[in-house]
Amino acid sequence: MAASSADSPDSGTRINKYISETGICSRREADTLVELGAVLINGRVARMGDRVTPEDQIKVRGKPLRQKPRPVYLAYNKPVGITCTTERDVTGNIVDAISYRERVFPIGRLDKPSEGLIFMTNNGDIVNKILRAGNAHEKEYVVTVNKNIDANFLKKMASGVPILDTVTQPCKIKQLSSDSFNIVLTQGLNRQIRRMAEFLGYQVTRLKRVRIMNIRLDDLKAGQWRELSESEVAQIESLLVGSSKTAEASLPPRDKSQREKPREKAAHDKKPTPPKPKTGKSSPWDTSTFRRKS
C-alpha cells in the first residue's frame, strides 16, 4: 500500500482534496471529518495534511471511500434570479436549479440579476485555471445599459476603468446598438462590468454571458443545461495547458514582469563601495550618499 504523508510528504493527494473529489463533501467539510477522527488511512486515524494515493484504503465514518467519479462538465444557461451558491438553504441556489444527479458546483459565478453561460463541474482542479486573470481565458458578454453609448464610452471601457482599488485590464468591446455592446474579458472582478459602467455614469439593465473560452451559449435556453462533448472538453484541456491554478496567475503579464525587474536591478545596479580613506586623513566621500564631496 502507498505511504501517507507521515512517510512521504511530497507524494499523493492531500486527504481533504482526495475525499472532496469523490463528491461526498467539500474540502472544508473533509477537514472537519479529519479533525473529528472520522477518517482512517490504512487503518490509522488520518491527520491534517496527510497525502494518499488510489492504492491507500480510506474509510470515512467506518465506510470505504468510493472511487473518484468520472469528471463532469456541464454548460448551464443561468436564468436571472438564480444564485451561484452551493448552499442548499439559499432559495434559488444553482445546485437545486440544475438538479443534476451528481454533486457539481459552478466555476466562477454570475450575480443574481445576470444570466447566461456558466460551467458546472465536479473537478476542482480546473476551477482556478479557468478563472485566474493571468491565464487570459476569455469570457464574452452582451450588455445593455440605460442610455445611449458613444465612442468615448467604448474607448474608456476598452482601455481600463478604476474600480475596486485597481484598474481593469484592457479588453475587447464592440457596439451592437445604441444602448448595447459586446465585451470580452479575461478578468473576473466582483460585478466587474456593472462597476465599470457605473463609473462612467451608466446602469446595466441586462447582462448575459454568451461564451467561456471555446464554449458558446448558442441555442441553450434559459434554465437548460447540457454535458460538454468529449471534443469540447479536450479543447478546454488543451487551452488550459500552461495555465496556473495559483494566485500568481491573478497578476496580468505586465505586473509579473514588473515584479521581476527589481530583482534584476538589484543584481546589476548596486551602489559602488567607496574606497577606504588613508589613515589620518578625512574621507573625500560623503558616506550618506557614496558621492564625492564638493
**187 and 142 within one domain:** yes
Are residues 96 and 235 located together in one domain of the fold?
yes
Tell me which residue range forms the domain holding 151: 138-212
- Decide if 5 is inside a domain: no
Domain boundary among 212, 241, 260: 212
Are residue 238 and residue 116 in the same domain, yes or no?
Answer: yes
Span 218-251, pLDDT tens digits: 999 999 999 999 999 999 988 888 776 655 444 5
Write down the pLDDT at residue 165: 95
For residue 42, the Cα-to-chain-centroid distance in whole angstroms is 34
Classify residue 106: in a domain, yes or no.
yes
pLDDT for 27: 87
Judgement on whether residues 146 and 199 belong to the same structural domain of the protein: yes
* Strand 115-121, strand 166-167: pairing: unpaired
> Average model confidence (pLDDT) for the chain?
83
Q: Is residue 267 part of a domain?
A: no
- Catalytic one of 111, 165, 218, 219: 111
Assign residue 37 the CATH number of its domain: 3.10.290.10
> Is 207:194 a contact under the CB 8 Å cutoff?
yes
How far apart CA 277 and CA 130 sit, in angstroms, is: 61
Give yes or no for residue 89 having a pLDDT over 90: yes
Asked if the structure places residue 27 within a domain, the reply is: yes
For residues 122 and 77, membership in a common domain is answered with yes
* Confidence band, pLDDT 50/70/90 cuts, at residue 273: low
Tell me: do 195 and 143 sit in the same domain.
yes
206 and 95 in a single domain? The answer is: no
As for how many domains the chain has, the answer is: 3
Identify whether 264 is part of a domain. no
Please tell me the pTM assigned to this model.
Answer: 0.66
The region, left, alpha or beta by phi > 0 then psi within -120 to 50, assigned to residue 155 is alpha
Report the CATH number at residue 74: 3.30.70.580
Question: Residue 255 domain-assigned?
Answer: no
Residue 273 falls within a domain, yes or no?
no
One domain for residues 113 and 157 = no
Q: What pLDDT was estimated at residue 223? A: 97
Q: Which residue has the higher pLDDT, 279 or 70?
A: 70
Place of cell 503579464: 253
Determine contact, residues 127/137, Cβ cutoff 8 Å.
no
State the cell numbers at 120: 458546472
Per DSSP, helices labelled H in the chain are 15-20, 27-35, 94-98, 127-131, 151-159, 192-199, 230-240, 253-268
Residue 160 within any structural domain of the chain:
yes
Residue 150 and residue 161 in one domain: yes
Contact 208, 180 (CB under 8 A): no
Are residue 32 and residue 162 in the same domain, yes or no?
no
Q: Are residues 107 and 230 in the same domain?
A: yes
Please give the average per-residue pLDDT across 33-43, as a whole number.
96
User: Does the annotation mark 111 as catalytic?
Assistant: yes
117 and 147 within one domain:
no
pLDDT the model gives residue 190: 93
